[in-house]
Amino acid sequence: MSKHFKLSLPDAGKDVYMPRKTQTWGYRYGPSIMVEGDVCRAWFASPGDCFEADWFTYRESYDKGETWTRERVVLTPTPDSLDWFSVCDPAVFKYGKYYYIGYTSTIFADGGGVCNNGFVARSEYPDGPFFKWTGKGWGEYRDGCAWMGSPAPMIYYDEDWKHWGAGEFSFVVKDDVLYIYYTWTSKNIDGKTYSQTRVATADITREDWPATIVQHGVAAVRNSTGNDSYDVVYCEELDKFIALSTDKRFSADSFLSVSESDDGLRFTRVNDIRTNTCFMLHNCGISGDAQHHIKQSDTLLLGYAYGNQWGKWGTRMHRYAYTLMDEDYYSELDLPNLEMTTELWEREAELPPMILTAAKPHYIRVKPGTSAPIEMKTYNSCYEPERIDASLLTYDNYDKSIIEITDGKVYGKQVGYTYVDAHLGSLCGTVLVYVDAPDTCYDIETRTVVSFEPMLQTYVISLSEGVAKQLRGLATWSDGKHYEINEPEQGVSYENHSPELIRVNERGVVTPVGGVGTGMVTLCCGDKKVSVTVVVTES
């Protein structure tokens, strides 16, 4: 008889983070936990500076998770890019010399966290600097400068932008194949919300592995929005993939859910764990080694956020154990969880800064012959800002043909852009600088579209899935701003060249007429026109 996975929590665990009594909000959710030799590493989603919604912090433990080092911010959005709003939901693995970190973000900042995409970055060190996948490579290099790069989605959400979208990665490497798990939450043609964990694979032996992704469909149907994203590990004793998630998240009846898979492609629930868990938990993570494998001799940790005050969430870490059971399902749903109300911690007297960052909006625009101050701030773990005197900073890693820096001011030399690294002791913060043409107009009422590009060249619609796609384009205006647009009030219209195959409404939503085949649609924005292919399949 095939054995199955049985997880247990021997005790109530301990908090590794709690907001301080001086804070109005605070959290460290969705931990990605790696056990690498004698070091336990953990990355967390934390607040940003309110202009950027979330950053990633990093901590280490040298005593199997009992105590943890002070945190520092290791990944932030790239200014004025497709991930400018946030980096959420960390997922980390290591292959070769690189740590790879997957994350969720959106350009639709005013939509309430919708239309999310999945991104990835890499570094030779667990705390960065991370260089982001740009669609062509990792980061950007110019004249001896190495920059994080303008990110491109690794997983792009191609349905109606008003829904949550894609993201919340988890990674497992097995036999040099990278298994990529991510959530996909949207609505079908009938208006019914559906939420899935999908799976893809990639050839991790290749430098450009994000360009090799092959989709394998739905790994699990998340039966409600209360069922959280999956964090997946590979259990070597069982030769099975194990997924941990939370269910009935944010509620008094919350619990941990465990699913397993023989092939990593389709999962079945095997455990529901409530004993020793905190109520109102959400966004969990389970430890693995560098490639997210586990075995019983490892240090085994799991963590999640919890709390009865919205936005004031503690982070609880547990040592867990597992055994191999004969039965195919084990449940503790008839047992209570721990009704632990949020008990905020006292603020420490000394809180060193954990990030150096540019002032909002994290980029500077000048013209040749003009200047602007470089304004930098630090934030501590309570997100208390402190403006830094420019005389305390040093600057490097910028293109000296584009700008010069004197006395804390940036001077435009010629049209172009460059990143600048500012240093304060061991902290490094990056600011993006544009040098615009002398005749650039920044008036939003009179600016014009200078380029319009499709987000995808090919869209695939499955008749059996009953979902629609949405065609959106990336517009760049004469003042340098760019945004994904699709609405008629944004100046976008659509020419459907295949009405016998598909319908296209005024918002770019494409639905099939009934048959299968390949069609074409032209997206129009002013005098800019771009065409995309729409393929309709049976399944």
Q: Counting beta carbons within 10 angstroms of the beta carbon of residue 344, is it exposed (0 to 12), middle (13 to 18) or buried (19 or more)?
A: middle
pLDDT at 225: 66
pLDDT score recorded for residue 539: 85
- Please, are residues 11 and 338 in contact by the beta-carbon 8 Å criterion? no
* Domain boundaries along the sequence of the chain: 4-331, 355-435, 449-537
CATH class held by domain 4-331: mainly beta
What is the torsional sign of CA 151, 97, 69, 172?
Answer: positive
Q: Give the C-alpha separation, 266 to 243, whole Å.
A: 11
pTM confidence score: 0.96
Which residues, in sequence order, are bridge partners of residue 317?
14, 303
Are residues 276 and 21 in contact, defined by beta-carbon separation less than 8 angstroms? no
Residue 343: phi and psi, rounded to 5, are: -115, 100
Class of the CATH-defined domain 355-435: mainly beta
Distances (CA, A) of 82 to 91, 100, 296, 393, 455: 19, 19, 41, 29, 11
> What are the CA-CA distances from residue 403 to residues 168, 364, 367, 481 (Å)?
38, 11, 10, 20
- pLDDT tens for residues 417-451? 999 999 999 999 999 999 999 988 888 888 889 99
pLDDT at 358: 96
- Spatial contact of 528 and 452, defined as CB atoms under 8 Å apart: yes
On whether the CB atoms of residues 417 and 400 are closer than 8 A, the answer is: no
pLDDT on residue 224: 66
The token pair at 10 is 């021997």
Count CB neighbours of 229 within 10 A: 29
Could you say which residues of the chain have pLDDT below 50?
A: 1
Judge whether 355-435 and 449-537 match in fold.
Answer: yes
Q: 449-537, which class in CATH?
A: mainly beta
